[in-house]
Amino acid sequence: MELWIELLTSWIGILSLSVIVFIIGMAAFFIAFFVRKSREPGDGQPDLGSERIPGSQRHPGHSQ
């Protein structure tokens, strides 16, 4: 019980609690962010911009 009182009333306890809450919130944000990004449609390959490199070969079926 004494630990809870120190956590909620002392300056260092309030700072510690705010860091703990911030880290948990950041973890929840990143989990939601990565789950949402993993569900987006796409072939999974980044567009490397091969059309801008002189002499590079085009992908089959790629129109200009």
Residues 6+ apart with CB under 8 A from 47: none
Q: Whole-structure pTM over 0.85, yes or no? A: no
45 residue type, one letter: Q
Domain of residue 12: give its range. 2-39
26 residue type, one letter: M
Q: Which two tokens stand for residue 15?
A: 């700072």
Per-residue pLDDT, 24: 98
Q: Would you tell me how many other CB atoms lie within 10 Å of the CB of residue 10?
A: 11
Q: How do residues 28-54 score in pLDDT, each as one tens digit?
A: 999 999 999 888 776 566 666 555 656
Q: Is residue 63 part of a domain?
A: no
Per-residue pLDDT, 42: 65
Q: Is residue 14 part of a domain?
A: yes
Q: Is residue 60 part of a domain?
A: no
State yes or no: pLDDT of 56 exceeds 60: no
Torsion over CA: 59, 60, 61, 64 (sign) = positive
Domain count, the chain: 1
Q: Is residue 25 part of a domain?
A: yes
State yes or no: pLDDT of 59 exceeds 90: no
Q: Is residue 6 part of a domain?
A: yes
Q: Is residue 15 part of a domain?
A: yes
Helix (H) or strand (E) holding 20: helix 11-38
